[in-house]
Structure 1
């Protein structure tokens, strides 16, 4: 009897399942899947919303910017991440002498690349806007040394810049550098800027493009924003210094006391 009962149990287990049993099993499986999918969907939506918000914030308010070269040493070093204030010149204000700015050098520092891959440029632009990679080759960070109407001359007997007849003590320069090894005497056209790096002996800036179309002058509308803060590394977090070097410069055309 016992053996016969065991055979009966095995026989029943080997019988095909009824439709109601299969539907019940499928319903339990589907319920488990449905309970997981909303969680994944919420995570995905939150992730997309977070990245979108960060990109919008970077596009219109503050953008992280990775410093790729030593042209602004000692103020900015290779690998520093700075925060660029994109609202600084958004409401009628314009760059001032001494400001450290990020700008698009297309047409002034570099020629427009008509053969660039738009998809690759877009991907690189997104990564750069988050401070994850070096900025595009057309973006530069320099210090404003002259604004529209200024006469900028280098150098005086002590190796200093003179802006509108006033000598400028640039304490932020790389130790051992002079204001410029190559002399120049230029008048900045209205609506443009004369840009110099703080590490003058290592900086390719407006001086190197005097003979190019535009004469090395950067249009104001090409300025992306002002570098207001150093965000990385932690030991160097804080605001930038040096803009006060130009406080004594008069506006062009005014008499000097």
Structure 2
């Protein structure tokens, strides 16, 4: 037996006007649901890609925005370099001539223990790890000039830096720069690095921290990775050119006289 509601339902479906309105509303609802689901997928995919990029940047290859001219002409202000975080993960250590990014806390900047805006720092850290913002104030990019056990002296009679008694011809220096306007004679402790910028007249590096705790020496464990590639601008994309400046220099500990 038909109920009143069933009769009413048949009457509506048989009415061309009412039936069309119901069908239109149903189609509209389905379209809205499909659009909503589509946007949901886009957002989920975007979040997944962002997380994947952050993980890749954290453990494998991190973009790094060069904030200053201290490494000119090798690196320019605004360059995006790609830092190889696996370079020193499997027993290898930084070598003389490597361009590296490192955390200068305790060597180039003093540990303060001050706490800032945690959420703001998190957002900035995420943007910096993707090369979209300047790095943290404690992150630096410099060239390794001395490793543990090396005696580094400035300068010989021809104005060159010496490593373990051997002069170093630094063709990567900024045109017109001297190897150093500051004289020094240091022995790098084991597990530490002596860092210098290529633009010696515009670089605050190990020389500027000689009288401070740590003597400007950077612990190897503070090295974030090696700069292996240039990722931006387009005209400079490619592998970072190496140097033969330290080929032939004696091994660490060979000249401490």
TM-score by length of 2: 0.87
Q: Find the residue that maps to 2:69 and give its secondary structure.
A: coil
Q: Which residue of 2 aligns with 1:96?
A: 95
The range that moved more, 169-178 or 109-118, is 109-118
Q: Is 2:154–2:161's contact at 8 Å kept on the other side of the alignment?
A: yes
Residue 230 of structure 1: aligned partner? 230
Aligned to 2:34: 35
- Asked whether the equivalents of residues 161 and 167 of structure 2 are also in contact (C-alpha less than 8 Å), the reply is yes
Partner of 2:210: 210
Q: 2:111, 2:50 → 1: CA distance? A: 30
Distance 2:227 2:200 in 1: 19
- Please say which of residues 162-171 and 239-248 is displaced more in the overlay: 239-248
Residue aligning to 1:106: 105
**In the alignment, does 2:190 pair up with 1:190?**
yes
Pair 1:219–1:138, CA change in 2 (3 A):
same
Deviation at 1:27, TM superposition (A): 3.9
Verify the 8 A CA contact 1:172 1:242 in the aligned structure 2. no
1:120-174 per-position Cα deviation (integer Å, ceiling 9, x unaligned): 2111111111111111111000000000010000000111110011110000001
Task: Please tell me whether residue 75 in structure 1 is matched to residue 74 in structure 2.
Answer: yes
Report the equivalent of 1:4.
none
**Counterpart in the other structure of 1:127:** 127
Partners of 1:63 and 1:233 in 2: CA distance: 16
- What is the DSSP-based 3-state SS (H/G/I as helix, E as strand, rest coil) of the residue aligned with 2:143? strand
Structure 1, 242-251 or 149-158: larger mean CA deviation: 242-251
Q: Give the Cα separation in 2 of the matches to 1:252 and 1:33.
A: 70
Partner of 2:8: none
Aligned positions, number: 238
Structure 2 residue aligned with 1:9:
none
Cα shift at 1:249: 1.3
Contact residue 159 and residue 179 of structure 1 kept, 8 A: yes
- Aligned equivalents of 2:235, 2:32: Cα separation in 1: 48
Q: Distance in 2 between matches of 1:35 and 1:177?
A: 64
User: Can you give the 5+ residue segments of structure 1 that lack an aligned partner in the other structure?
Assistant: 1-16
Distance in structure 1 (CA, Å) of the matches to 2:47 and 2:214: 42
In the TM superposition, what are the counterparts of 1:232-247 in structure 2 within 5 Å?
232-247=232-247
Task: State the alpha-carbon separation in 2 of the partners of residues 52 and 135 from structure 1.
Answer: 19
Match of 1:57 in 2: 56
Summarize deviations over 1:71-100 as a string: whole Å, max 9, x none: 000100111111111110011111000000
Does the alignment pair 1:145 with 2:145? yes
Matches of 1:111 and 1:243 in 2, distance apart? Answer: 31
Report the CA distance shift for 1:254/1:187 in structure 2 as closer, same or farther (over 3 A): closer
* Alignment partner, residue 116 of structure 1: 116
CA contact (8 A) 2:151 2:253 kept: no
Contact 2:192 2:218 (C-alpha < 8 Å) held by counterparts: yes
2 CA distance for matches of 1:226 and 1:76?
A: 13
Aligned-pair CA distance for 1:24: 6.2
Q: CA deviation at 1:25?
A: 6.3
**Which residue does the alignment assign to 2:156?**
156
CA RMSD of aligned residues (A): 1.9
**Aligned equivalents of 2:119, 2:212: Cα separation in 1:** 30
